[in-house]
Amino acid sequence: MTLNPRLAAALCVALSLCALLAVPGNFPALDGDARLTLAVFALATCAWIGTPIDDTYIALGAGLALTATGVISSDTLFGTLGDDTVWLLICAFVLAAAVARTGLAGRAAAFLVGGARGVRQLVHLTTAALVVTAFAVPATSGRAALALPVFLALAKALADRKRLVVMLALLFPTVILLSAVATLIGAGAHLITVSVLWEATGDRIGFTQWLLLGLPLAVASSHLAAEAVLLTTTRRADRKGPVHITAEEIQRHSEDPVTGPWTQAEKRCALLLATVVALWCSEPLHHVPPAVVALIGAVVASSPALGTVRLKDALRTVPWSLLLFMAATMAMGVALADSGAAKWLVSGLPADVAPAVFLGVVVAVSTAAHLVLQSRSARSSVLVPLVIAAAVGAGVNPVAAALASTAAAGFCHTLPASAKPVTLFSDIPGTPTYTPRDLLRLSAVLAPLTAALVLFFAAAVWPLLGVPVTR
């Protein structure tokens, strides 16, 4: 049997690192726990990169290995499942199921997109609508599935303008991925970052603070990306001419009415969602944790009298595999920090590096990491503990460094397999869509643009919002 070259390379790297760590004379500054942690971390990372094994299975195996060898306690491993960020994501998916059941998304699409009269206007109205969905639906794959019927309706209405259809096919996943940074629940990687940051430094980023820091970046990067998509996939002639999308065309791809009087279920669900988001944003005033607010909203959304979805049906939409992955990687982050392994890994870095240079390297590495690690959560699991440890040694604010790394890692557009939304929109039967060449052309423009924008926010905008570059 012939080994896949990528798998063979990953195995060679992992086994070589483990062999070096196994020799007592090597790396005298490392104790036994740190050696075991680095070995497990190296094996897990190489398995994520080079094998088709499920990411969650690898993470659970790594967490179990660290527990069995005594690096972390069983309470640490199992306690991560009770973390409030895990509960926040569970309840957010229940709320999302309630929203999806009512058909509010179709009404919002008809209202926003129906007002477009030109190509550029259509692009930016669609972008604005996709950014808003980050507040209603957690995880980028869920938002992509919710947005697909809207894209199909637009593609049908623009069937005689193929380049515009291809452009929209590329626009949807691009904006979904870049706008995820708007909210804490936008991606599982955000929750991993918050948890690792809390365990390593004691700094806690709440829903409101993340919103304050992430939403402006999400809006700016999404509309910048929209222009990049428009200019790289269409010609000037394609962008001329009127565009008119009717509610009837959107209705053909929606099982629920997108116009007319609102049903009682739609009114209740819209009011509940608005209330939950308002309570999340006003946390500094009432001091109720976002996870508790989300739990109250989930209970109401699934209640027999006021709810729009049964609890057991809503719980089926929760990505339990992602939650287990998050819990296991949180435990890995604790092991890296507590054993001293993360600090040792970055101890050889120059201590006198300028903060701007440090952030530039972090953003560049995080932007390119999707070429090696396809899972966004896996990228944060690997990078964030190391970034935090390196930031402390370099005198950079670890909060700024961790946020910059996580935001930059949201770029994953180079290949169809780089992210689930990109994969979903790359192959739609009966509808023209983009090719790998289109993705490469866009990435060549968008990668440096988004990296520069993240660096600008980290160095110039976030300090004005309470997150300085240095401490």
Q: What are phi and psi of 351, to 5 degrees?
A: -85, -15
Say if residue 1's pLDDT is above 50: no
Confidence (pLDDT) at 73: 87
> Quick check: is 470 in a domain?
no
If you count DSSP H runs as helices and E runs as strands, how many of each does the chain have, helices first?
24, 0
**Percent of the chain clearing pLDDT 70 (strictly above):** 88
Question: Are the beta carbons of 353 and 470 closer than 8 angstroms?
Answer: no
Q: Which of 24, 55, 71 is the last residue of a domain?
A: 71
Among 71, 87, 104, identify where a domain stops.
Answer: 71
Threshold 0.85, pTM exceeds: no
pLDDT at residue 162 tops 70: yes
Q: Is residue 95 part of a domain?
A: yes
Average predicted confidence (pLDDT) for the chain: 82
Nearest to 190 by CA among 324, 411, 381, 365: 381
Confidence class for position 350, pLDDT limits 50, 70, 90: low
- 236 and 379, same domain (yes or no): yes
Instruction: Specify if 471 maps to a domain.
Output: no
Q: CA 228 to CA 459: how far, in whole Å?
A: 23
Do 59 and 158 have their domain in common? Answer: no
Closest by CA to 21, choosing from 7, 5, 41, 4, is 41
Look-up: residue for tokens 């701007």? 356
Question: How does pLDDT run across 129-143, given as a tens digit for each residue?
Answer: 889 888 877 778 778
- 294: Cα separation from own chain's centroid: 19
Does residue 101 sit in the same domain as residue 44? no
DSSP character string of 366-410: HHHGGGT---HHHHHHHHHHHHHHHHHHHTB-HHHHHHHHHHHTT
pLDDT at 399: 92
**pLDDT of 453 strictly over 90:** yes
Question: Is the model more confident about 131 or about 148?
Answer: 131
Pair 38, 79 in one domain: no
Residues 214 and 203 in one domain: yes
Q: Are residues 189 and 227 in the same domain?
A: yes
Rounded to an integer, what is the distance from CA 128 to the centroid of its chain? 18
Q: Is the pLDDT of residue 6 over 70?
A: no
In a shared domain, residues 112 and 53: no
pLDDT bracket for residue 224 (50, 70, 90)? very high
Query: In the prediction, which pLDDT does 405 show?
Result: 92
Residue 241 lies in domain: 72-465
Per-residue pLDDT at 301 exceeds 80? yes
Helical segments of 244-319, H only: 247-251, 264-281, 283-286, 290-301, 311-315
pLDDT for residue 355: 84
**pLDDT digit string (tens) for 369-420?**
877 777 777 788 888 888 888 888 788 899 999 999 999 988 888 777 777 8
59 with 195, same domain: the answer is: no
* Beta carbons of 348 and 391 less than 8 angstroms apart: no
End position of a domain, from candidates 71, 86, 116: 71
Residues 423 and 276 in one domain: yes
Q: Which DSSP helix (H) or strand (E) runs through 178?
A: helix 162-179
The count of domains in the chain is 2
Is the domain of 67 the same as that of 81?
no
Pick the closest to residue 329 from 40, 30, 34, 50 (CA basis): 40
Helix axes 162-179, 207-233, angle to 10 degrees: 160
